[in-house]
Amino acid sequence: MRALRDAIRGGRLAPGTRLPPYRSLAADLGIARNTVADAYAELVAEGWLTARQGSGTRVAPRADPPRARRTGGARSSGDRENAPRPVHNLLQGSPDAASFPRTAWLASARRALTAAPSEAFGPGDPHGRPELRRALADYLARARGVRTDPDRIVICSGFAHALRLLSGTRALRHKAAVEAYGLDFHRSLLAAAGIRTVPLPLDEHGARTEELATHRDLRGVTTVLLTPAHQFPTGGPLHPERRATAVDWARASGGLIVEDDYDGEFRYDRRPVGAVQGLDPDRVLYVGSVSKSLSPALRLGWMVLPDALVDEALTAKGEREGWVSALDQLTLADFLESGGYDRHVRRMRQRYRRRRDQLVAALAERAPHIRVSGIAAGLHAVLALPPGTERSAVRAAARHGLALDGLADYRHPDAVGPARDGVVVGYAAPPDHAFAGALEALCRALTPGDSPTSR
């Protein structure tokens, strides 16, 4: 109630704005429906809201909120053009937080705690709990085509943690190839470890792995980082021939492939493509996590390593496990073995597919000049834009209260060739009651009347 009053008083909820049905808001917040219904009723009684049959609950008509008093000197033209605070979060990388399987996770936690041996409550093992490593070996073989045994799995807290650990081994040293578009955060981690990254060109078939053996700038590269299931962020899968080419390069050169499978389970137009690791477990280091499938708050991930690298990774990790809770590991092991994880992934696959379909349909109707690139997969989509229009499109989105990224934010600073123009739209995070409004704002920002192509 206090947050709603503040939003109305401050003008973030304008008069006439329709609030979500109390059932939807209760589901999004994870609280009882009666709690939301009582809050709405109280705010209606206080005059902040109105409620009419067939019209829903809306912000009551009232005087415009007072404008913030200006302090200091006159504003510059740049200040006048500052965008409003974002209303809709369309940033990539966040799953639907409201869909975390609380009940099923709690049931797994209870079973795991009941069955846990006493030593599980001790200092811990940097290798990770054996229960989780066994469960992961079975699951990854079945769902992702990964060839491994539990002893070759090392538990970590996610891909960034894996990079930090591998930077202390022979897997990552001196010079590494990375895809021309990717997370700058990951490149920064490598640079901090003294590893120079060299961009590997991309096209609609993914990374051009044939250049590993031929391109002058890639000479001396011993490791390549790939996102083969769903290139991040451009959205294409790595072509089968290029998968084979990457493995052939690793075998011939003695090099290694680090496979980031961050959202490999979420393919919507067909069954998910198996991991590259299955082609050569001695040359491919497979890294996965639950940050997209469950929640980044869990900080749970895994590395599937060649035998020769396991001890090096454990040495880099240290003798005491200080990164991942043993209790969370035991819970995830039960969640995998009980089938709860499979059921959750199937449910979220359907949910995210509907979200992506809604995005594509809205753009086809309202902004048909915008093309959704990449395959139907993952938690985000890239909207391809005409050359030279990306910056103005991002500004237009900000004016409409949207938080999203331009594709240029992910381009390697040393990448050659023309840059792609586009915006990266994360469609997983907005709650259900807000998603239609987010799509409406996105279409307005990209339609000819307000799009960069009309200026």
In tens, the pLDDT along 247-259 reads 999 999 999 999 9
From residue 155, give the alpha-carbon distance in Å to each of 84, 148, 261, 281. Answer: 42, 14, 15, 17
The Cα–Cα gap between 148 and 280 comes to 11
Q: Which amino acid would we find at residue 384? A: A
| pLDDT at position 438 | 92
- Name the band, by pLDDT with cuts 50, 70 and 90, for residue 205: very high
For domain 102-339, give its CATH number from 3.40.640.10, 3.30.9.10, 3.40.50.300, 3.40.190.10: 3.40.640.10
The Cα–Cα gap between 446 and 393 comes to 7
In this structure, how many other beta carbons lie within 10 angstroms of the beta carbon of residue 80?
Answer: 8
Higher pLDDT, 41 or 155: 155
Query: What average pLDDT does the segment 376-398 reach?
Result: 94
Higher pLDDT, 162 or 264: 162
| pLDDT at position 82 | 59
Higher pLDDT, 68 or 128: 128
- Name the band, by pLDDT with cuts 50, 70 and 90, for residue 219: confident
The Cα–Cα gap between 234 and 238 comes to 11
Structure tokens given for 438? 């987010």
| pLDDT at position 321 | 56
Query: What average pLDDT does the segment 301-323 reach?
Result: 88
| pLDDT at position 22 | 83
Query: What average pLDDT does the segment 325-334 reach?
Result: 96
DSSP 3-state of 248: helix
| pLDDT at position 452 | 46
pLDDT in tens, 37-83: 889 888 887 788 888 877 789 888 864 444 443 334 433 334 334 55
| pLDDT at position 79 | 37
From residue 280, give the alpha-carbon distance in Å to each of 176, 225, 449. Answer: 19, 15, 52
Domain boundary assignment for the chain: 2-59, 77-100+343-454, 102-339
| pLDDT at position 451 | 46
pLDDT in tens, 331-351: 999 999 999 999 999 999 999
Output the CA torsion 139→143→145→150 (10° steps).
-10
Q: Quick one: 77-100+343-454 is in which CATH superfamily?
A: Aspartate Aminotransferase, domain 1 (3.90.1150.10)
- Over 60: is that where the pLDDT of 174 sits? yes
Higher pLDDT, 331 or 36: 331
| pLDDT at position 192 | 92
Mean pLDDT, the chain, rounded, equals: 88
Sign of CA dihedral 250, 254, 255, 256: positive
> Element (H or E) spanning 33, and its range?
helix 33-46
Higher pLDDT, 415 or 454: 415
The CATH architecture assigned to 2-59 reads Orthogonal Bundle (1.10)
